[in-house]
Amino acid sequence: MKKNLLNELKNECLGCKKCPLGETRINIVFSDGNPETAKAILIGEAPGENEDKTGTPFVGRAGKLLNEFLEKAGISRAQDLYIINTVKCRPPKNRVPTDEEKTACEDYLLKQIEIISPKVLIFCGATALKSFYDKKIQISKIRGEILELEIGGEKRKCIPIFHPSYLLRYHSLDEGSPRDLMLKDLKKIKKLMDA
């Protein structure tokens, strides 16, 4: 059932030219994961070069690192998550998507959330957080907190986490390091998903 609704939405998205990104993309990057079994939606920033080539989110270096952390936290990317981005097309040179580009994609994003109806939304990085949370606050100050936000007409549990591309700069696993905090946040998310 969910797959059929999402396939209809994806077909609509394939023809989308609501913003200039529709002219420069190779592929739309619609989603990854199993919509029928996903307990959480992970929302990233925007597709990068590898994602644009493959049509799948989080497949570059940052995606590989994300996979490692998910595995350590006991979260199955293939079964537990449905992965999307704030925009479906790659911004040129991997720049941050503009507010106009995010607004053009918002209907697709909200419809995906509505169809999946997850237990928790994971805002992966500052751009995803800012798309739903209008208070000006650094992700380092709010990551790991459970936010109750009205999204798509429903109250939803949301947790911001670091973007894995940020973790590529930090290799320490010491207590309180970005990688240590990421693993703790994902374990907290796993508990919410299993509750």
**Which pTM does this prediction carry?**
0.96
Question: What's the pLDDT score for residue 183?
Answer: 98
Backbone CA torsion sign across 34, 94, 183, 108: negative
Domain layout of the chain by residue ranges: 2-194
Own/partner long-range contacts of 12-15 (Cβ < 8 Å, ≥24 apart): 12/108, 13/88, 13/108
- 7 vs 54: CA distance, rounded Å: 18
Question: What's the pLDDT score for residue 116?
Answer: 97
Question: What's the pLDDT score for residue 1?
Answer: 86
Question: Which value, to the nearest 10 degrees, does the dihedral of the CA atoms of residues 57, 127, 106, 87 take?
Answer: -30
Burial of residue 16 (CB within 10 Å: 0-12, 13-18, 19+) is middle
- Looking at the domain 2-194, which fold is it? Uracil-DNA Glycosylase, subunit E (3.40.470)
What strands lie across the sheet with 81-85, from one edge to the other?
32-33, 81-85, 40-44, 120-124, 154-161, 147-151
Helices (H), 15-163: 21-24, 49-54, 61-72, 77-80, 99-116, 126-132, 139-142
Taking 50 as the pLDDT cut, the residues of the chain under it are: none
| Start-to-end Cα distance in the chain | 24
User: By three-state DSSP, how is residue 78 classified?
Assistant: helix
DSSP, res 151:
E
- 101 vs 36: CA distance, rounded Å: 28
